[in-house]
Amino acid sequence: MPASLKDVAKEAGVSPATVSRHLNGSLELPKETRERIETVVRRLGYRPNPHARRLSLGRSDTITLIVPDIANPFFAVLAATVERAASARGMIVQFHATSNLEEREIAVLRLAADHRSDGVVFCTNRKPGPDVAQALDALPRAVIVDEAVPGAHAPQIFSDNAQGGFLAGAHLARAGHRRVAYLGGDPALMSTRLRADGLEQGLRAASGGDAVNVRVLSGLHDVTSGRALAAELIDAEGDETAIFVGSDEIAIGVIETLRARGVRIPADMSLVSFDGARALHLYDPPITAVRQPAAKMGERAVELLLDGDWDDHALPDLVEHLPVELIERASVAAPRTKPTEDNETIQPDRGD
Amino acid sequence: MPASLKDVAKEAGVSPATVSRHLNGSLELPKETRERIETVVRRLGYRPNPHARRLSLGRSDTITLIVPDIANPFFAVLAATVERAASARGMIVQFHATSNLEEREIAVLRLAADHRSDGVVFCTNRKPGPDVAQALDALPRAVIVDEAVPGAHAPQIFSDNAQGGFLAGAHLARAGHRRVAYLGGDPALMSTRLRADGLEQGLRAASGGDAVNVRVLSGLHDVTSGRALAAELIDAEGDETAIFVGSDEIAIGVIETLRARGVRIPADMSLVSFDGARALHLYDPPITAVRQPAAKMGERAVELLLDGDWDDHALPDLVEHLPVELIERASVAAPRTKPTEDNETIQPDRGD
DNA sequence: CGGGTTTAGTAATGCGGTTTACTAAACGCG
DNA sequence: CGCGTTTAGTAAACCGCATTACTAAACCCG
């Protein structure tokens, strides 16, 4: 058994209260006593029991990170900075993956409450129902990151989705595209709406008055869904010349499917991704992307949680849109001039 | 304030002990009392305070995950399965990133001990000193994953590094390569030795008696180091025709540098990576890789931690090598046929 | 010298559970 | 009826720390 406060007290010939108060700096002690205590502490290798501390203090020196899936590089990067920022402030982070299950989102939010978590960073990919908002509101300190939770009263940190969409749209329009598909998450999601709208506005702004069109296809933010959406788009046989995807995960599925169907990027179809957490510059072709400031978002979240003025009544209304950046690479080119029926035949590429 | 056991007891007209014992199943109660308690529990929304529970029980229902960097996809994937496996068993996971700093490794191991963590999954990228081994040994339950910790007495789960090296070597040899560089981590690392040795054996085994050579260059397992190592290799002006890298992170740096220097993959230099956690199939060219079973490793670690027989004296000596898989893609081709100079056997220095 | 002020601590209580050992009452039965 | 056995709980002692309120002794000063 490790040494307890009582053990230290006994050895040092003082009361436990004295040791505790000294260690926590709430008691000024004469040098002699102080040194006696400290010697014993060292000799016994005393380390306070954090559970006792937490029980007594009613807080946990822990922050809770909730994400859909930590294997998703966007969240992995976010998690890395959350951990860094938290541990720099002496906080421990515990994390939960929800797999985008509402039930699980609620369960882990409750858990965070039970644990008197000193701060919760909540991310979801799904449109969360009112129960999630309620579970969030039950927490003393939570910040919502990446995707809005309607009805929740907590500060929110997003990347600038509208601007991201706009940048992508303008870039595509400048390359000559007028009809673009947006393959993203649930259409009820704030991010989906903002990006699709931004995309349309960007297209419009840079296409010199030409008619523009955005087709929105929705699924989940994962590779499987990316494959399905790309297939759906191709099968629809529309006249889109470019695809804007809502995440790197979807992009992967899209690239795979396009390749399998013999659709060349960017010759037959241009592509812009949203996230940029992966090494898209090494892809074939290098993928143009709107880069989300994942690291900044995590850092800012922890900053708000731990250094924010939570007595300030207005804090929960805070909404920040962190700037995104368009990284131009080779996956965007001018659209093919007028598709001819001949070229439309599908010729399978090498299998890979 | 949330309801406590005492509140429930009072409302239900029984003692706290009764409620506690009933809730934990250590007391059989007549239906009437039972229902009375349960009604109150529901009405008050009673949830046990985990800190009190932990203090009393001396355990935490928590497992601790320690990795160098969670943003590294290999560890992110591992973390994802650790979380899944842990939460499936009602455990919470808290994680720490060490940035490969020994000081921090030790600090977080101590923290895990303080927290009476029910199990620690420890990963490092560095050759850990004896203090790390000691801190690990102070834990009641820890498993070492991915990289050996000399001197530590805990079960260890690795991917089959030797086999991975062998597969890569044989594959390269079959493609015609005889001189290969291994760009990996610290040469003192178990993984480095096993992979480099395996590589050499694989080369030898599949090159029909030709002389083979492996040049080992060492750095860190990150992108920056990959760039530096590639530069070092090129500047050495050796006659290696292929590179085997110790991780996807290094691979990225290598690809970048090769590309910047005008060295084409695989025309001028073949490449095989080790990890396969990234979407290497989309790279230009698609990168052949030895895939580590990251997910399985995490799962197995938790399994051992939570379902292992820790009374078994032999458990800490367990070492498992999980099978790896060679994924052949397009980054390996026959070496350029160059003027065959026979001075290679004698001259240790540069060939040209 | 006596009373007020420091100095140097301490006793006791609470945080919210778990668990062991124990009891009071009811029940069974010879 | 008396005694052993269930039944249905309970009292009390932790777990290890934080903190509030308090005290005993020493010191200072007029």
B83 touches chain A (CB under 8 A): yes
Contact yes or no for B178/B241 (Cβ under 8 A): yes
- Measured in angstroms, the CA of A210 and the nearest CA of chain B are apart by 34
- Measured in angstroms, the CA of A182 and the nearest CA of chain B are apart by 21
Q: Is the CB of B201 under 7 A from strand C?
A: no
Phi, psi of A230 (to 5 degrees): -65, -40
Q: Which residues of A touch B282 (CB under 8 A)?
A: 252, 255-256, 283-284
As a whole number of angstroms, the distance between CA A158 and CA A308 comes to: 17
- How much is the pLDDT for A186? 95
**pLDDT band for position B337 (50/70/90)?**
confident
B153-166 tens-digit pLDDT: 999 999 999 999 99
CA end-to-end distance (rounded Å), chain B: 78
Point out the residue among A51, A83, A252 whose CB comes nearest to the CB of B282.
A252
Beta strand ranges found along A69-141 (DSSP E): 92-97, 119-123
Which strand ranges, in their side-by-side order, compose the sheet holding A242-245? A213-218, A179-184, A242-245, A270-275, A288-291, A325-327
As a whole number of angstroms, the distance between CA A251 and CA B269 comes to: 29
Query: Span A327-337, mean pLDDT?
Result: 95
- How much is the pLDDT for B350? 38
A15-62 tens-digit pLDDT: 999 999 999 999 999 999 999 999 999 999 999 999 999 999 999 999
Report CB contact under 8 Å: A94, B93.
Answer: yes
As a whole number of angstroms, the distance between CA A127 and CA B298 comes to: 30
As a whole number of angstroms, the distance between CA B233 and CA B254 comes to: 10
Q: Which residues of B touch A279 (CB under 8 A)?
A: 252, 278, 283
CA-to-CA separations, B37 to A221, B17, B49, in angstroms, rounded: 44, 12, 17
Query: Span B250-276, mean pLDDT?
Result: 97
Report CB contact under 8 Å: A47, B97.
Answer: no
- How much is the pLDDT for A214? 97
Phi, psi of B333 (to 5 degrees): -140, 175
Which tokens in the block code for residue A100? 């985008």
**pLDDT band for position B57 (50/70/90)?**
very high
Chain A nearest-CA residue for B108: A92
- How much is the pLDDT for B349? 40
Q: Which residues of B touch A5 (CB under 8 A)?
A: none
Sign of CA dihedral B93, B97, B100, B101: negative
Interacting residues of B92 by C-beta distance below 8 A, sequence separation 6+: A94, A96, A111, B61, B62, B63, B86
How far: B54 CA to D17 C1' (Å)? 13
Q: Is the CB of B71 under 7 A from strand C?
A: no
DSSP label of A315: G
**How does DSSP assign B245-268, residue by residue?**
ESSHHHHHHHHHHHHHTT--TTTT
Query: Span B228-252, mean pLDDT?
Result: 97
Q: Which residues of B touch A48 (CB under 8 A)?
A: 114
The H or E element that residue A16 is part of is helix A16-23
Report CB contact under 8 Å: A87, B96.
Answer: yes
- How much is the pLDDT for A336? 87
Point out the residue among B95, B286, B329 whose CB comes nearest to the CB of A83.
B95
Contact yes or no for B81/B299 (Cβ under 8 A): yes
**How does DSSP assign A165-214, residue by residue?**
HHHHHHHHHHTT--EEEEEES-TTSHHHHHHHHHHHHHHHHTTTT---EE
**pLDDT band for position B344 (50/70/90)?**
very low
Report CB contact under 8 Å: B70, A92.
Answer: no
Query: Span B211-225, mean pLDDT?
Result: 97
- How much is the pLDDT for A203? 98
- How much is the pLDDT for B336? 86
B79 touches chain A (CB under 8 A): yes
Query: Span A167-175, mean pLDDT?
Result: 98
**pLDDT band for position A350 (50/70/90)?**
very low
- Residue A17: which nucleotide is closest by CA–C1'? C10
B60 touches chain A (CB under 8 A): yes
Chain B nearest-CA residue for A257: B282
3-state secondary structure B327-342: ECCCCCCCCCCCCCCH
How far: A127 CA to D20 C1' (Å)? 48
As a whole number of angstroms, the distance between CA B296 and CA B315 comes to: 19
- Measured in angstroms, the CA of B345 and the nearest CA of chain A are apart by 37
Report CB contact under 8 Å: B282, A255.
Answer: yes
As a whole number of angstroms, the distance between CA B54 and CA B52 comes to: 5
How far: A37 CA to D28 C1' (Å)? 30
Indicate the SS3 state at residue B344: helix
Q: What residue has its CA nearest to the C1' of C9?
A: A18
Question: What's the mean per-residue pLDDT of chain A?
Answer: 94
B327 touches chain A (CB under 8 A): no
Higher pLDDT, A207 or B340: A207
Q: Is the CB of B59 under 7 A from strand C?
A: no
Report CB contact under 8 Å: B92, A96.
Answer: yes
Helices in chain B by DSSP H: which ranges?
5-12, 16-23, 31-44, 50-57, 73-88, 102-114, 130-137, 161-174, 190-205, 223-236, 248-260, 294-307
For chain A, how many residues are written?
352
Report CB contact under 8 Å: A52, B52.
Answer: no
Q: SS3 helix, strand, coil % of chain B, rounded to 5? A: 45, 15, 40
**pLDDT band for position A104 (50/70/90)?**
very high
Amino acid, single-letter form, for residue A260: A
Report CB contact under 8 Å: A70, B71.
Answer: no
B136-154 tens-digit pLDDT: 999 999 999 999 999 999 9
Q: Which nucleotides of C are covered by protein (CB under 7 A)?
A: 7-12, 14-21
For chain B, how many residues are written?
352
DSSP label of B237: T
Interacting residues of B276 by C-beta distance below 8 A, sequence separation 6+: B248, B289, B290, B291, B292, B325, B327
**pLDDT band for position A346 (50/70/90)?**
very low
Higher pLDDT, B1 or B25: B25
Q: How many CB atoms lie within 10 A of CB A135?
A: 24
A62 touches chain B (CB under 8 A): yes
CA A280 to chain centroid, in Å, comes to 18
**Which of A92, A271, A275 to mutate to probe the B interface, most B CBs <10 Å?**
A92
Residue A339 pLDDT greater than 80, yes or no: no
Which tokens in the block code for residue B325? 């898989």
CA-to-CA separations, A203 to A166, A212, A244, B37, in angstroms, rounded: 7, 7, 12, 63
Which tokens in the block code for residue B64? 């601790």
Residue A286 pLDDT greater than 70, yes or no: yes
**pLDDT band for position A337 (50/70/90)?**
confident
Amino acid, single-letter form, for residue A63: I
Q: Residue A144: beta bridge partners?
A: A122, A156
As a whole number of angstroms, the distance between CA A108 and CA A106 comes to: 6
Point out the residue among A87, A111, A283 whose CB comes nearest to the CB of B284.
A283
Share of chain B above pLDDT 90, in %: 94
CA-to-CA separations, A102 to A113, A200, B99, in angstroms, rounded: 17, 31, 33
Chain B nearest-CA residue for A97: B83
Q: Which residues of B touch A88 (CB under 8 A)?
A: none
User: Which residue, among B186, B219, B183, has the nearest Cα to B199 in the 3D structure?
Assistant: B183
B334 touches chain A (CB under 8 A): no
Which tokens in the block code for residue A278? 């992966």
As a whole number of angstroms, the distance between CA A273 and CA A275 comes to: 7
Indicate the SS3 state at residue B152: coil
Contact yes or no for A66/A96 (Cβ under 8 A): yes
Residue A183 pLDDT greater than 50, yes or no: yes
**pLDDT band for position B338 (50/70/90)?**
low
- How much is the pLDDT for A338? 57
Look up tokens 């834990």; give the residue: B139
B314-324 tens-digit pLDDT: 999 999 999 99
How would you classify the pairing of strands B92-97 and B62-67?
Answer: parallel
Share of chain B above pLDDT 70, in %: 96
Q: Which nucleotides of D are covered by protein (CB under 7 A)?
A: 7-12, 14-21
Contact yes or no for B203/B178 (Cβ under 8 A): yes
Interacting residues of B33 by C-beta distance below 8 A, sequence separation 6+: B12, B14, B18, B22
Which tokens in the block code for residue B74? 């290999």
- Model pTM score: 0.94
The H or E element that residue A230 is part of is helix A223-236
How far: A29 CA to C10 C1' (Å)? 14
User: Which residue, among B264, B228, B243, B125, has the nearest Cα to B181 in the 3D structure?
Assistant: B243
Residue B345 pLDDT greater than 70, yes or no: no
